[in-house]
């Protein structure tokens, strides 16, 4: 009789995983995973903010860059985060020793996530671990600068990670009701990210009858910067297979299954009790096939659990490639070449404006002064003297040629008429302006119409003086 180890006879294999929570978002996530009681996993909280680590319930904590940040955080600067990681590089490497699989959970866009995450991913890969990064990108309303820092951080993480699960906060916010409180919204998002970590651990530990290999997971999630497709549903009862798939497809990251048609590879993992039938698995896959493109590669995993009361769980994982169906090369975890050590990012000084113009443009022409503006014409122009045309000269008389040799004769021309001097033109005289007399008329006295007038020396003083004088204005 041949005996097999329990892990080869259907029992899930033991995979020691190390879950790192980096930054405020990562620390909140590992706290929730710690409370969930996941077995065979160690949790470490890392942050540059000392206050966040103090309130964390995770047992192992690493304060990054105490000399650089003094426990106050990075202020949103990835360069400060990079310096903090270099200061604490020894502690990071010590924490990564002996880890088989490292889950790096962080939120990108800030100084700690974008600046420290690439350094940790590089250190974990140098230690020989399989690095799976689960990252989130900021909301669109957080500003363009934060989004740009998130893209740079994602590129650095993808460079040293074997697989990347990238979630967009804008899509995850659709998990909660629009009227839900902000704490409830973030709590639902944290639970969603926690279920992604748990699902990956279950897939990697999955046993009989149909396991999914680590190389399959890396080939699906090895795209790097693509947005993740993730959905998970559980159900019990008579119609449990259909309900579990329906709940998984309702995930905002799947858009009710429509985004599955844009993915080049998908992992479908089904787990349930021993009563899980082949017909239920076939029904789930037939319904799932309606949402998947014909050219997509589908990896199926089925795990039978010992718990008879366990629900059927359907997990869908993929990458949204934006319509491109070219599959990335499959990365074997045992034959991965280690990249060269990452150099500290340098920022080139901006080129002065005047130097850039001199080096890229042709030499300038000599400055030509602009023409002087003509003076305005005077109000009264001086008379213009027109020159008198001169009288045309009379043609010289032509004499008939003599028969003999002509003698040298001198041509006589009439004297030119003397030039006439121009006659001066008298300037125009300005017309005389006649001063007119204002027509002064008496007006009504208004409210004083019925009162007695003020008569002094025969003159009515109530009448204005200019009316009494009847004088002319000067």
Side-chain half-sphere exposure of 176, counting CA atoms within 13 A: 19
Please list the helix, strand and coil fractions of the chain in percent, rounded to the nearest 5, in that order: 35, 15, 50
Residues 92, 156: Cα–Cα separation, whole Å: 17
Contacts for 345 with CB less than 8 Å, ≥ 6 apart: 79, 82
Would you say 142 is a known binding-site residue? yes
Would you say 323 is a known binding-site residue? no
Residues 419, 459: Cα–Cα separation, whole Å: 76
Contact 435, 472 (CB under 8 A): yes
Sequence length of the chain is 474
Q: Which two tokens stand for residue 289?
A: 């096939």
Contact 193, 206 (CB under 8 A): no
Would you say 146 is a known binding-site residue? yes
Q: Which two tokens stand for residue 356?
A: 């850039």
Residues 230, 473: Cα–Cα separation, whole Å: 97
Exposed/middle/buried for 111, CB within 10 Å: 0-12, 13-18, 19+? buried
What order of strands is seen across the sheet that includes strand 209-210? 60-63, 41-47, 17-22, 101-107, 130-137, 163-168, 227-235, 312-320, 265-272, 297-304, 209-210
Would you say 190 is a known binding-site residue? yes
Residues 198, 204: Cα–Cα separation, whole Å: 10
Contacts for 117 with CB less than 8 Å, ≥ 6 apart: 22, 104, 106, 108, 133, 135, 153, 156, 157
Hey, what long-range contacts does 136-139 have (CB within 8 A, 24 or more apart)? 136/25, 136/106, 136/107, 136/108, 136/166, 136/167, 136/168, 136/169, 136/172, 136/193, 137/108, 137/109, 137/166, 137/167, 137/168, 137/169, 138/107, 138/108, 138/109, 138/169, 139/169, 139/170, 139/173
Would you say 184 is a known binding-site residue? no
Q: Which residues are annotated as a binding site?
A: 111-113, 142, 146, 190
Q: Which residues are annotated as a binding site for GTP?
A: 111-113, 142, 146, 190
């Amino acid at each position: 009789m041949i005996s097999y180890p329990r892990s080869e006879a259907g029992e899930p294999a033991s995979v020691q995983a190390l879950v790192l929570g980096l930054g405020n978002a990562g620390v909140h996530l590992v706290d929730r995973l710690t409370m969930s009681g996941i077995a065979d996993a160690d949790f470490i909280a890392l942050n540059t903010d000392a206050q966040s680590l103090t309130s964390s319930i995770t047992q192992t904590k690493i304060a990054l860059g105490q000399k650089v940040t003094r426990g106050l955080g990075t202020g949103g600067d990835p360069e400060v985060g990079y310096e903090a990681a270099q200061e604490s590089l020894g502690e990071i490497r010590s924490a990564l020793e002996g880890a088989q699989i490292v889950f790096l959970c962080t939120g990108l866009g800030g100084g700690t996530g974008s600046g420290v995450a690439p350094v940790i991913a590089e250190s974990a890969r140098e230690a020989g671990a399989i690095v799976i990064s689960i990252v989130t990108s900021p909301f669109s309303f957080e500003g363009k600068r934060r989004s740009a820092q998130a893209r740079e951080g994602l590129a650095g993480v993808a460079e040293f990670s074997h697989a990347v699960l990238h979630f967009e906060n804008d899509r995850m916010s659709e998990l909660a009701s629009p009227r839900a409180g902000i704490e409830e919204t973030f709590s639902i998002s944290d639970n969603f990210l926690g279920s992604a970590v748990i699902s990956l651990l279950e897939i990697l530990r999955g046993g009989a009858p149909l396991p999914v290999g680590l190389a399959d997971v890396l080939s699906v999630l090895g795209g790097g910067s693509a947005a993740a497709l993730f959905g998970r549903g559980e159900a019990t009862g008579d119609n449990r297979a259909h309900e579990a798939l329906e709940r998984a497809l309702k995930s905002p990251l799947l858009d009710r299954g429509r985004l599955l048609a844009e993915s080049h590879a998908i992992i479908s993992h089904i787990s349930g009790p021993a009563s899980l039938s082949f017909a239920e698995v076939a029904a789930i896959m037939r319904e799932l096939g309606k949402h998947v493109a014909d050219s997509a590669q589908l990896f199926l995993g089925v795990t039978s659990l010992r718990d008879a009361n366990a629900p059927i769980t359907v997990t869908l994982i993929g990458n949204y490639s934006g319509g491109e169906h070219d599959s990335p090369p499959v990365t074997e975890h045992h034959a991965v070449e280690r990249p060269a050590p990452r150099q500290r990012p340098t920022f080139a000084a901006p080129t002065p404006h005047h130097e850039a113009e001199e080096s890229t443009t042709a030499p300038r022409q000599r400055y030509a002064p602009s023409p002087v503006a003509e003076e305005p014409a005077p109000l009264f122009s001086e008379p213009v003297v027109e020159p008198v045309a001169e009288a045309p000269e009379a043609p010289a008389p032509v004499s008939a040629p003599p028969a003999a040799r002509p003698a040298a004769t001198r041509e006589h021309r009439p004297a030119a008429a003397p030039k006439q001097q121009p006659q001066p033109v008298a300037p125009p005289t300005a017309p005389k302006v006649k001063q007119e007399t204002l027509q002064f008329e008496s007006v009504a006295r208004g409210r004083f119409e019925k009162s007695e007038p003020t008569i002094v020396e025969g003159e009515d003083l109530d009448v204005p003086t200019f009316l009494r004088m009847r004088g002319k204005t000067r």
